[in-house]
Each structure stands twice: as C-alpha cells, then as structure tokens.
Chain A
Amino acid sequence: MTNLTALTIATARDKLAKKEFTAVELTQAHLAAMDRHKHLNAFIAMTPDVAVARAKESDARLASGKSGALEGIPLGIKDLFCTEGVQTTAGSHILEGFVPPYESTVTQKLRDAGSVMLGKLNLDEFAMGSSNLTSFFGAVKSPWKAKTRSDDLVPGGSSGGSAAAVSGYLAMGATGTDTGGSIRQPASFCGIVGVKPTYGRCSRWGVVAFASSLDQPGPMTRTVRDAAIMLKVMCGHDPKDSTSAPMAVPDFEAVLGQGVKGLRIGIPKEYRPDGLNTEVAALWDCGIQWMKDAGATIVDISLPHTKTALPTYYIVAPAEASSNLARYDGVRFGQRVEGKSLDEMYSKTRAAGFGTEVKRRILIGTYVLSAGYYDAYYLKAQKVRALIARDFTEAFEKVDAILTPTAPTPAFGVNDPQDDPVAMYLNDVFTVPASLAGIPGASVPAGLNSDGLPLGLQVLTKRWDEETMFRVCQVLEDAAQFPFLKVTP
C-alpha cells in the first residue's frame, strides 16, 4: 500500500469514490511516510490522532455518498494557519504552546470539504525568510539532493515545510502563504506547483499576520490540476476579512484543457538582468518555445519599475510587520519573560521570543514609520508600489499572461554561509513585484539544472484571472514532463 502516497489528489479522489481503498488507508500511508522522513523536519507537529479520526469520518461520508470536494485527501497545513485545539506557532518561540480556540477560514473550508489534516508544517519564523532557516523549530531539509554535493539543501521559504512535504510524498498537498514569494520560491526549489492567488481571493482570517496588504494563502501540490482543485475549496468571500473579495469562485479545474492557442504571452526584459544564471535563462527560453509550440503569441514587454520592487517590499512589509507583531506582548498569549515594570516585561519578552531576522524587520519597520522618516521611506514606498502595479496594468493591456523564471537560482545548501540579509532578500526578486501589485502568480516545475535540481517558471496574470493562469500552467506542465522524485518505500 506504500505507493498510495504517489497518487495525485485528482486520482486519489476518483479511487476513493470507487472504494479502491479507504481514506484511513490513504491517511495511514502518509503518516507512515511522515514517520520515515522525520529527518526532513518538515512538520513542527504531526497530528496522527486528528488525521485518523477525520479519515474515519471521511470513510463514513464516502459510504453514505455525501462526500466533499477533498473527501479523505491528506493535507499538511502550514503552521501559520490557526487550527482549533492544535498548537500554532508561526515558527516562533514567542508562540510556542499557543493553542488557538478557533479555526482559520481557509482550514475550515478545507475541513468542510472533507480533507484530512496530517499536521502543522514548518516555516520561516513569522513567514520571514526564503530558506526556512529562520524557524525556531530548526531548518527544513529539501528531499532533493544535488549530483555534485552531498550536503542538505534548503527547501526555500517561507513555506519550506509545505514544499518539502509535498515534493517528498509526505502529503498530497499543503497550504502555503505568500507575502513576497513564500509559496512560489519554495515550489520552484522543490519541484512542485505553488499558486498565490489574487490578493483577496483567500480569506486571511485566522492566518497569523505578517504584512496584511501582501499576505495571501494558496495551495502547494504536485500537479496543476491538484492546485486548481485545492484552490477552489480554499477561496471565496469571508465577511470576517474585510479585504476578502465578494466574488464568485470560478471552477479552475474546468479550464485546464483549454490550452493557450491565441493567447498573448508577455516576456518582460527586466527579468533577464546581466548575469542571470544561465541555466535559469535557458529554461525560460525553453518555456517560451513551449508557449509558441502550443499556439501562443510571444510579446516582448517592459515592466520598467521591476528593480525598485525589492527595496519597496523591504519598506512596506517590515512596516506592516512591526505593527502586526506588536500584539506579542506577553500578556494575552504566547511566551512571557517577567520584568520589574510593564515595559521591561514587554521588552524582555520580545527580545527572548523573536529570532534575529524577525527582530531586524521589526526594527526596520519601526524606523521607517517613526516620526520624521515616514514620508521619506514609507510614503515613498507606497508611491513606488503604485508605479509597480501600474506597470502590470499597462502590460496586461497588451498581453494575457506573463512568463518569467520563479527564482534567480536553484536551491542552496542549509549550511552555506548566510552573512548578508540583502543577499537572501534577492531570492524573491522575481516574485515580489506581483505580490506588491496584488496579482495572481504560480510556479510550475519546468526542469532540472545540470546539477539535478528543480527550477520553476512563473506565470502571472491580471487580478481575478486565475483561469488564464491555470491554462498557461497546464501547458507548461504538459510540455515540461518534469522528472519528479521517486517515492521511497
């Protein structure tokens, strides 16, 4: 029964309906795989009791013909989503032991659709990172190995546990969240599909906040179809999130076979800077050829403010984070370090509870919002953000979708020196612009570099047009014939 973990969500869904195996068997196969691959450190908490109980309920519903869209499908949940009665840490010491008395909207929707929660997945602390190295609960290791080096590689981040679990067959799919690339970059590093929908598609209610104007949940899966199935369940209007869009949810799966014939695909010249990794550039050229072969028209475009996106992001995101993370004060939840005064208790609690990168971003955010600097930094960044969004609006008058690399490099080593924070920030150079503009983006595994490591291509479309995005993704997936990892027994 071990090869049950190799199935896609779509196939498992059909086989469960035909009673070829039970939801409990499917869940147990995944729990066994999680146990065998503990060394990856993909999970902060495994929840086998919850999983088996929910799988039993799924089997009962399958037997009575009342099954949901994800009935019996075992999923991992990024530990940024609050889960009722199950510890939620955001990868931070400050939230260690926090047990939410409520369920996030997205995970509630996944539960209501019959899915089975396997556990809570590791991430960079408060989703701040591109490597999963900043988690208080330790680095996640990618299941992938390079041909020329034997050391462990990072899965990317911040949804690193999600990417490692899905690519390593520990979960059929996982939730991620993306603020500047945290779904798409780890999807690229681990050779899976990652979708960041339009800002407002998925409710942020119950998701631990990092940067509220950028945060957006999305699915991480091994196939484009699975991402379409999962996203349909995850999104939809939620009155509890004032930025959640009151819009109908399209049937993303229904458009997958429509191809790209007649579509105009934009290739932005700014995404090919001097010195771009030659294998990344070559794979991008490959993707352009696949689009042409499938009948799309290639259009050269310009997104002139691309190079301003990262510095803009590193004002906007830390500013919002410094405000959002003010709530960790040692009073209402989480860790506390006692002090003689209230202020001393706050300062000691936050010094002990937050890791280096989180503190760094809170301090930067506090500085750019402080009196005398607000206009020069924060207001300036909000204006440049408007220009970045306008670049995309103007581009989408000429093209239906944009194709770019997802990340500038393949995965790097867990133990590679990481002295310069700005060098780490550059991982998100191709993903941050779409985050700032609020448009949807997806990463599709497109090939391996000469060292045998996955590289992804990114598809961007205009707001609320995930359907065109999925059509392009499906054509990329079909053309790429990506060599997934083998399931280890």
Chain B
Amino acid sequence: MSLDKATVRRIATLARIEVPEAELEATAETLSGILKWIEQLAEVNTDAVAPMSGGTDLKLPWRSDKVTDGGQRDKVLANAPDPQDGFFGVPKVVE
C-alpha cells in the first residue's frame, strides 16, 4: 500500500506529531517503502490461527482490589514542565 500525503497528514494528526508540509512527501515515501516490505505477510495462510496477543502463555494474575499506593503528589509533580498549585498546567482547553 502506498501512502499519499493526505494519509500521512491524517496519521500524524492521530499520533500528535507535527510533520511540516514540506516533509510530507518524503515521509510518505519512506513509510510506503516499509509498508510494502511488511505486506509480504499477506502471503501467509493464517486461516483458523488464533492471534498471539502477548509474549507469554501464563494467565494474567488477579489481585485483591485495594489501594496499594498514593499520597505522593509532590513526587508525581516533580518532573512536570508546568506544575501549578498542585496540578499539571496545560494550555487553556475550555473558554
């Protein structure tokens, strides 16, 4: 599948990565090259094969539903680019 500029623009928006207009063409070309290479998988017969969704065949464990951590506001905020009064600061979202 060959990606066009519009598709690259769309996935860049979905991924929240700004791709300048001037780079869309080259990005589309590189990504298309990779996709073309991975499309060889279409030749593999996977009828009646169950997908493998993780790296292990162990069952996921259960634990009791109780609070095990918390009360660490200052540590949680310690690396924030814009901590404000105990909150994460972000650009204004609501008018």
Contact = CB atoms under 8 A, between A and B. Distances in A.
Interface stretch (A227-235, A274-282, A304-312): A304-312
A239 B57 CA distance: 17
Interface string A82-93: 000000000000
Interface string A370-384: 100000110111111
Given A311-B37, A347-B17, A363 B49 contact: no
A478 interface: no
A330 B82 CA distance: 9
A330 B81 contact: yes
B2 to A, nearest CB: 12
A438 B56 contact: yes
A364 B17 CA distance: 12
Nearest to B88: A331
Contact of B40 (A101, A311, A354, A385): A311
A346 B70 CA distance: 27
Interface residues of B, number: 51
A342 B93 contact: yes
A29 interface: no
A344 B58 CA distance: 42
Nearest to A201: B56
A348 B55 CA distance: 34
Interface residues of A, number: 71
Interface string B53-73: 111111011010000000010
B86 interface: no
Contact of B61 (A246, A351, A354, A381): A246
Given A360-B31, A386-B52, A315 B17 contact: no
A338 interface: yes
Contact of B56 (A200, A308, A382, A385): A200
Given A243-B56, A338-B91, A350-B18, A379 B51 contact: yes
Interface in A147-194: none
A312 B41 contact: yes
Nearest to B17: A350
B40 to A, nearest CB: 6
A239 B63 contact: yes
Contact of A345 (B7, B35, B91): B91
Contact of B81 (A336, A360, A463): A336
Nearest to A387: B49
B67 to A, nearest CB: 14
Given A333-B80, A380-B46, A385-B52, A370 B14 contact: yes
Closest 7 CB pairs of A and B: A382-B51, A199-B55, A333-B79, A383-B46, A336-B81, A351-B18, A386-B52
Interface of A: 97-99, 101-102, 199-200, 213-214, 216, 239, 242-243, 245-246, 305, 308, 311-312, 314-315, 322, 326, 329-336, 338-348, 350-351, 354, 359-360, 362-364, 366-367, 370, 376-377, 379-387, 389, 420-422, 436, 438, 463
21 contacts: A200-B56, A243-B56, A308-B40, A314-B37, A315-B38, A330-B81, A331-B80, A332-B80, A333-B81, A336-B82, A339-B91, A341-B91, A342-B90, A347-B12, A347-B13, A362-B15, A363-B15, A367-B31, A382-B51, A385-B51, A438-B55
